[in-house]
Structure 1
Amino acid sequence: MTATPDVELPDTGTVRNPATGAVAGTVRWTDPADVPRVAARLRDAQKQWEARGPKGRAKVLARYAVWMGEHRDEIESLLIKETGKSATDAAQEVPLLIMIASYYIKTMEKALAPETRPAALPFLAIKKVEVHYRPYPVVGIVAPWNYPVANLLMDALAALAAGCAVLLKPSERTPLTAELLLRGWLDSGAPEVMGIVQGAREAVEAVVDNSDYIHFTGSSATGAKVMERAARRLTPVSLELGGKDPMIVLEDADIELAANAAVWGAMFNAGQTCVSVERVYVLEPVYDEFVDAVVRAVENLKVGAGEGYDFGSLIDDSQVEVTERHVREAVAAGARVLTGGKRPGGPGSFYPPTVLVDVDHSMACMTEETFGPTLPIMKVASVAEAIRLANDSPYGLSASVFSKDIERAKSIAVQLDCGAVNVNDVISNLMCTTAPMGGWKNSGIGARFGGPDGMRKFCRQEAVVAPRTNIGAGGTYYNNSLKALKRMNKLMTKLALARPRRVAK
């Protein structure tokens, strides 16, 4: 349900492959003035979508998951064209969505069923308390360019499962796969409860202004602007923002495992992942061994778009410039480059996998989000120093700890100020749909996934309190005689204090 402008708009949506410069496709940007009508159509269709109930919606989501599986090659081919990804990186997104859809299909009926709550006090046992989960009519999803398939739909699937309609706003850099995914939704026999708005800043503003709930994934700076605009209408938001994720390698770690995890976690998708490994703190006894293992692993990587490569290009030259600046400033401040460090000649927004050592927190490569294929490694003298440095950041998205002693690693994990910690692995928490995926500090508000909460976040809670008997208060509502008041106060105080007195003994 892409909006049809009332007036002819210039073709501002030409998309070029950042690896080759070739035109990948075009879209017509939506006139922001048309967005209220798009949202209104979605809001009308949502009523019947909610009325289908979890079982009815599960069948539709199942058909859509099958469609994605059957059209995976088509989706990934277009994904590579608009992002410059390698085939290896592009292959991750559709399976993730199918896994998420499968989880919600299996759990949505139970997760969204009304809950019966016990009475807080014995004298309230005459009341039956239920909590119902009622979907927001229209959920606006503002998605980034780094995973234009996965980030567009991983939250949308949860909202659709909850009974919401979704208004999608893909990045203006990667709008093509969104059109294909919308076509697939309709081709699988789904109702028109999914719509797309194409464009840049004004399109985002229109989506925020016309949605009942906003989920935004992107930079912390833009997330703050989205939240500020949503506050004008008191629209609730969920923000999954930037990160500067640390890895801690203890002296008892499996060094080969840690080194290969660090390289994959830092270089996957050319480092353009919010939960990528952006800085590493290694205990001094194993520092040299770890660095050597990292360099060996990086030297085996092949960079290029499409088949046969480990990772592809960055999204555009502006992202290359950020990466170049972080490396250049680090070297000027005393860091050493062990691999990469210089943009190759030729076409495309490529940057080589770059390992930096002799780094510290005076350098932007250790404190600012790079979002590029760099891996700065810092030697530390103690676990306490590693924890302190890991927490010395305005971000708090995720982290990782490597040690053969799992309990020791877990004890360190709960001292790290972030939303998720992987022990002896990286990024794997994204596959755990029963766990929340959210950031602390400048990395966000709220979380995606988290079991039933992944769907319930897109619902309003409605309490329904009903009598268990036909006996009502009747004339006692305003029985305000002094004798009745004293008797009621004495009884209520006695009942309310019964449990605290037992616990306090």
Structure 2
Amino acid sequence: MFRPGTKGSSTVTITEGHDVDARPRLSSADPRDGRGVGSVPVHDAADVADAVGRARADQPAWGRCSPAERADHLRRIRGRLAARAGELAEVIAAETGKPDFDAMAEVLSCAVLFTHTARRAPKVLAPEKVSAFPLYVKRAEIRYEPYGVVGVISPWNYPAFVPVQALSGVLAAGNTAVLKPSELTPLTGVLLAEIINEAGLPLVQVVTGDGATGAALSSSDVDKIAFTGSPATARHILRAAAEHLTPTVMELGGKDAMIVCDDADVEAAARTAVAGCFANAGQTCIAVERVLVTRTNHVAFRDAAIRAAQRVTVGPERTKHVGAITQPPQIDVIEQRLRDATTAGATVVVGGHRRDDLGASFFEPTIVDGVRPDMALAREETFGPVLSIIPVDDVDDAVRVANDCDYGLAGSVFGRDRRVVDDVVERFATGAISVNDALATALVPGLPFGGVRSSGFGRLHGDAGIREFAVPKAVATSRLAVLPGLTASMFGSVRPSAAQVGTVLRVLWGRGAGA
């Protein structure tokens, strides 16, 4: 059991907040066996306000650092992550029930994001010269300044990587942060912040608790909010943020589709779909949940997917491919979706059952064939290890079905004809597409990460994910100090008439598109 407040392996230090003796506590348990992992205080609105105040007091000094200086500090944070990788991975695995490989890969992904952000931030945040057209007597540039304090509200499925998706850009842009981790994985969030601050500067405050704590952070006077989670929770946050006109970035759910064209490598597509769906027990916002396969390849793909799925192992042992369902009630949702689909004519060809013999929170990797686009299993996020196979007439039909969905986070397409594949990429209405692969866009930190429609707005990762947390300031200065300012001459003696202004307009652009 992890013991917050002490030093040593697998421990974290937690700010207790007001009235320590009377404060309710939130317990964290390992979903594999129900054993306690540790506990944290439930912070109230006053605690949240204090955390925001501390972050605001710490921000000016950090914001005055140059982007290059901040980049150097991000590398120091990466060094602390590497030094304590085993400890962080152990807490991740304990709170989520994921296998050791997945937990350590998550820590590695955090280090990759800090590395990329440190490389790009000095260039991305440098003052940017732009054309001063039509006022060529001016110099024009864009400067990028911090917002101030950013609230980061993160989920439980990737309790270190998801907050770092935001925090890497938040910190690079000169902000400080208040992190609210999920109530299912609070110790991971606390330890992550401890590691970040251990690099030498208090850049991240943490508040722990349930939905009320997150609501308090949403209603606080932070300068921006970054949220990852469900559309339903996002609506609550947006309503609270609207009271202060607080800008937000929303990374929400997905119902990602893979399109398998007639000329695709069916075996490769099947192996990719199985891995892209069952990784992290399907608890990934960009998991492959739907496969839209042309009828030409339907049977071959189904059989290849069955073979691939039969090699996937599941259980509490930390070396298995698939671990626990972190939120046990989600199994009820999975079972209901499967009942509805099979009642409507779909067929479970692999798995389909909870595995109580393995523990209280395990579900078999499952493949459902003959799913129709109108079924809930094909339209609503399952967030579990369930792969739906949807036969379609052709590629046009596949694109239509893929886009006929509230979500648009990511997707994939398998095919050999580059023209056909490029056409799918153009018409697939989603935030990201992997070609002859899946999940790849999320693993390239230079690419932006975010969706459309109910999958959210704003971007993390890449240059866009750094500038997402910077305020662009427009600056115009005179090239020659002796020249009078433009505005000062507006009411002067030399003032053109409206007719003269109209003549200039017609001379320049009255005869066509022009330059």
Normalized against structure 1, the TM-score is what?
A: 0.95
Q: Where do residues 38-437 of structure 1 align in structure 2 (5 Å cutoff)?
A: 38-121=51-134, 124-189=135-200, 191-208=201-218, 209-346=220-357, 347-437=359-449
Verify the 8 A CA contact 1:3 1:34 in the aligned structure 2: no
Count of residues paired in the alignment? 498
Letter in 1 for 2:80: W
Identity of aligned residues (%): 36
Structure 1 residue ranges (4+ consecutive) displaced by more than 6 angstroms after TM superposition: none
Letter in 2 for 1:175: P
Deviation at 1:225, TM superposition (A): 1.3
Deviation at 1:89, TM superposition (A): 2.0
After TM superposition, the structure 1 stretch with the greater mean CA deviation from structure 2, 132-141 or 375-384, is 375-384
Structure 2 stretches lacking a partner, 5+ long: 1-12
Paired residue for 2:453?
441
1:498–1:290 CA distance, 2 compared to 1 (3 A):
same
Letter in 2 for 1:184: I
Letter in 1 for 2:31: P
Letter in 2 for 1:199: G
Verify the 8 A CA contact 2:197 2:203 in the aligned structure 1: no
> Aligned equivalents of 1:465 and 1:388: distance in 2?
47
1:85-120 deviation per Cα after TM superposition (whole angstroms, max 9, x unaligned) = 112322321111111111111111111111111122
Verify the 8 A CA contact 2:289 2:387 in the aligned structure 1: yes
Deviation at 1:432, TM superposition (A): 2.0
Verify the 8 A CA contact 2:196 2:203 in the aligned structure 1: no
Verify the 8 A CA contact 2:98 2:318 in the aligned structure 1: no
After TM superposition, the structure 1 stretch with the greater mean CA deviation from structure 2, 495-504 or 393-402, is 495-504
SS at match of 2:156: coil
Deviation at 1:12, TM superposition (A): 2.8
> Aligned equivalents of 1:103 and 1:202: distance in 2?
34
Paired residue for 1:454?
465
Verify the 8 A CA contact 1:132 1:464 in the aligned structure 2: yes
After TM superposition, the structure 1 stretch with the greater mean CA deviation from structure 2, 383-392 or 494-503, is 494-503
1:44-83 deviation per Cα after TM superposition (whole angstroms, max 9, x unaligned) = 2110001111122112111110111121111111111100
Paired residue for 1:503?
513
Verify the 8 A CA contact 1:314 1:351 in the aligned structure 2: yes
Verify the 8 A CA contact 1:80 1:306 in the aligned structure 2: no
> Aligned equivalents of 1:145 and 1:492: distance in 2?
61
Deviation at 1:499, TM superposition (A): 5.0
> Aligned equivalents of 1:217 and 1:13: distance in 2?
21
Deviation at 1:210, TM superposition (A): 2.7
> Aligned equivalents of 2:164 and 2:485: distance in 1?
50
Letter in 1 for 2:426: V
> Aligned equivalents of 2:30 and 2:477: distance in 1?
60
> Aligned equivalents of 2:102 and 2:185: distance in 1?
15
> Aligned equivalents of 2:450 and 2:433: distance in 1?
11
Task: Give the aligned CA root-mean-square deviation in angstroms.
Answer: 1.9
1:96–1:306 CA distance, 2 compared to 1 (3 A):
farther
1:215–1:496 CA distance, 2 compared to 1 (3 A):
farther
Deviation at 1:477, TM superposition (A): 3.5
Letter in 1 for 2:449: M
Deviation at 1:407, TM superposition (A): 2.9
1:103–1:497 CA distance, 2 compared to 1 (3 A):
farther
1:206-234 deviation per Cα after TM superposition (whole angstroms, max 9, x unaligned) = 21223100110000111111111111110
1:1-40 deviation per Cα after TM superposition (whole angstroms, max 9, x unaligned) = 9544222344431111111111111111212212112111
> Aligned equivalents of 2:431 and 2:405: distance in 1?
14
1:493–1:29 CA distance, 2 compared to 1 (3 A):
farther
SS at match of 1:101: helix
> Aligned equivalents of 1:341 and 1:151: distance in 2?
29
> Aligned equivalents of 1:504 and 1:58: distance in 2?
44
Verify the 8 A CA contact 1:270 1:313 in the aligned structure 2: yes
Letter in 2 for 1:151: V
Structure 1 stretches lacking a partner, 5+ long: none
